[in-house]
Amino acid sequence: MCVVLVAGIARADEASDLAAITQAAAGCDPARAHCFGIRLHVATGEAGVTANPAWVATQLAAANHQFLPLDVGFQLVGIDARSSPHVHSRKERDALGKLVGGTVIDVFITDQLDDVDPEGVTVYGVTWRKGDRKFIIVSTKAWERTLAHELGHFFGLPHSTYAVSIMNKTPRDEPPMEQRRFADEEIAQLKLGLRRLLRGKVLVDVTARATSPAQASPRRCSSPRARPRRSSPRARRAG
Ligand SMILES: [Zn+2]
């Protein structure tokens, strides 16, 4: 997997924390019709980077699992330590928006994400808009499926009341957590959202796949001129 490490301002221990997160995170399955990049921004505390590599890997794996019916996968394409350990307010969420850009999904990991309405409550994740850009903030206290839930919002889903759905926030016993997924109706909505994101070039497929050692070289992966992957029949149908 090719991940751009922004190490210019990173301390040595910070760089090794970032590398550990990158190493633990699985890539996007090349069999997917679409693989989209996630640029991760983690926070640092007194003991270094606060996000745990296994926790990040679990969030990504859950997102990849939940988006299987859409034939979409995600993989890290960049990582830095420019998130904040505590995001208090709308203003602080907006400030993170200055760091987002490109045709990937920016995900900020924080340790405490305060609700902004009402105040005094914390939340586990939010999909936030600044100008014409959406980005995601996830707390390290989040559930395993929080990133997948927020990606659902990124692709245009609202909250829902489907019992099976990971977009339903109502506490309930059934179905069990491990069976929860996007409802079939939501998959149909996600397909429309995917088309919109591709048409608007908000997201562009990660073009260089590590299918051979030569393709996996950092030079190849970071090249903006990398040749686009030839579409599969499934990709054409979905796009
Ligand atoms: Zn939500």
Q: What is the pLDDT of residues 158-186, one digit of tens each?
A: 999 999 999 999 999 999 999 999 999 99
HEC-encoded secondary structure of 43-89: CEECCEECCCHHHHHHHHHHHHHHCHHHCEEEEEEEEECCCCCEECC
Contact 85, 110 (CB under 8 A): yes
> 168 C-alpha vs ligand 1 centroid, how far in Å?
8
- Residue 77 Cα to ligand 1 midpoint, Å, equals 24
| pLDDT score, position 116 | 87
Give the pLDDT score at 230: 40
125 C-alpha to ligand 1 centroid (Å):
7
Residue 219, CA distances (Å) to 103, 205, 224, 226, 237 in order: 19, 18, 10, 10, 31
Residue 203 and residue 218 in contact, taking contact as beta carbons nearer than 8 Å:
no
CA distance 185 to 181: 11
Compute, in angstroms, the gap from residue 153 CA to the centroid of ligand 1.
Answer: 7
Q: How far is the CA of 160 from the centre of ligand 1 (A)?
A: 9
CATH of 4-25+32-200, one of 3.10.530.10, 3.40.390.10, 3.40.50.720, 3.90.650.10: 3.40.390.10
pLDDT mean across residues, the chain:
85
224 CA to middle of ligand 1, Å? 33
For the chain, the structural domain boundaries read 4-25+32-200
For residue 146, the surrounding DSSP H or E stretch is helix 146-154
Q: Report CA(95)–ligand 1 centroid distance (Å).
A: 21
pLDDT digits (tens, 9 = 90+) for 60-78: 999 999 999 999 999 999 9
Select from 139, 144, 157 the least CA-distant residue to 65: 144
Q: Is the pLDDT of residue 26 over 80?
A: yes
pTM: 0.82
pLDDT of residue 208: 52
Give the HSE-up count for residue 136: Cα atoms under 13 Å, Cβ half-sphere. Answer: 26
Q: What percent of the chain has pLDDT over 70?
A: 82
Q: How far is the CA of 64 from the centre of ligand 1 (A)?
A: 18
% of the chain exceeding 90 in pLDDT: 70
For residues 158-185, one letter each, b for 16 or more C-beta atoms within 10 angstroms of the residue's C-beta and e for the rest, the string is: eebeeebbbbbeeeeeeeeeeebbbbee
CA of 166 relative to ligand 1 center, distance in Å: 9
Ligand 1 centroid, distance to 139 Cα (angstroms): 13
- Tell me the per-residue pLDDT of 175-217, one tens digit each, with 9 for 90 and over: 999 999 999 999 999 999 999 999 999 999 996 544 444 333 3
- pLDDT given at position 3: 66
Cis preceding linkage at 118, omega within 30: yes
The predicted-structure confidence for 77-134, as pLDDT tens digits, reads as follows 999 999 999 998 999 999 999 999 999 999 999 999 999 887 779 989 999 998 888 9
d(CA 2, CA 216): 7
Q: What is the pLDDT of residue 38?
A: 97
50 CA distance to ligand 1 middle (Å): 23
